[in-house]
Chains A and B, each alone.
Chain A
Amino acid sequence: GENVEQHPSTLSVQEGDSAVIKCTYSDSASNYFPWYKQELGKGPQLIIDIRSNVGEKKDQRIAVTLNKTAKHFSLHITETQPEDSAVYFCAASETSYDKVIFGPGTSLSVIP
């Protein structure tokens, strides 16, 4: 079955700097890669997603890249703000409505 790995497990950046989280997946059948942000006591919230026919996607300060050949995908957050502090999960799935396999998470701290 699918296995998703994620690095780093913790990340601390100064406000205004960029943050990068990297993930790998194992199942070549995966075609949908969502990223979720989870704040304390809340459920995961989708922040951006990318499909296998797209190499890069950007939404304001957030961008994701996908290298399907290498089975790598990454999240880039620019101009970080304190409210970006949370746990971020990468995930993989065959489609957006199949079961989602999550990575172990990255705890991001943005220091004012």
Chain B
Amino acid sequence: DTGVSQDPRHKITKRGQNVTFRCDPISEHNRLYWYRQTLGQGPEFLTYFQNEAQLEKSRLLSDRFSAERPKGSFSTLEIQRTEQGDSAMYLCASSFSHAGDQPQHFGDGTRLSIL
């Protein structure tokens, strides 16, 4: 399978705990994106990377959230001191910004539930 891979698929944790999600993009895709999707809504942009550089962060990305892509390949999204409102599906996507327009390909997400 050469698609975008996300791990874990589901995460249940207590309020106040820290959680970390991982995304493995399609090989050779230089851009990697994180989105958040709550029930019944469309995905909302959080942040994106070109290679290892984080180029844009949404206002939704509070200081409890941090994303990294240290070697320009996989990425991690960490949420510290989780709150009830963090319960959502966290989606990762990747694309290639060269050689013409290339669409973003999404993974199947990590569903986070805060107890």
Contact = CB atoms under 8 A, between A and B. Distances in A.
A43 B91 contact: yes
Interface string A24-54: 0000000010101000011111100101000
Nearest to B89: A43
10 contacts: A34-B103, A41-B108, A43-B109, A46-B104, A49-B103, A89-B42, A95-B101, A102-B43, A103-B42, A104-B41
A101 B101 CA distance: 17
Interface of B: 4, 31, 33, 35, 40-45, 48, 56, 58, 91, 93, 95-97, 101-109
B contacts with A: majority SS: loop
B43 A44 contact: yes
B101 A100 contact: no
Nearest to A51: B101
A97 B95 contact: yes
Contact of A43 (B56, B58, B108): B108
Interface string A94-109: 0111011111110000
Interface of A: 4, 6, 32, 34, 36, 41-46, 49, 51, 89, 91, 95-97, 99-105
Given A34-B103, A43-B106, A45-B106, A96 B42 contact: no
Contacts of A103: 42
A44 B106 contact: yes
B103 A46 contact: yes
A44 B44 CA distance: 12
A96 B104 contact: yes
A52 B5 CA distance: 31
A104 B42 CA distance: 5
Contacts of B43: 44, 89, 100, 102
Contacts of A36: 106
B41 A105 contact: yes
Given A99-B33, A99-B56, A43 B107 contact: yes
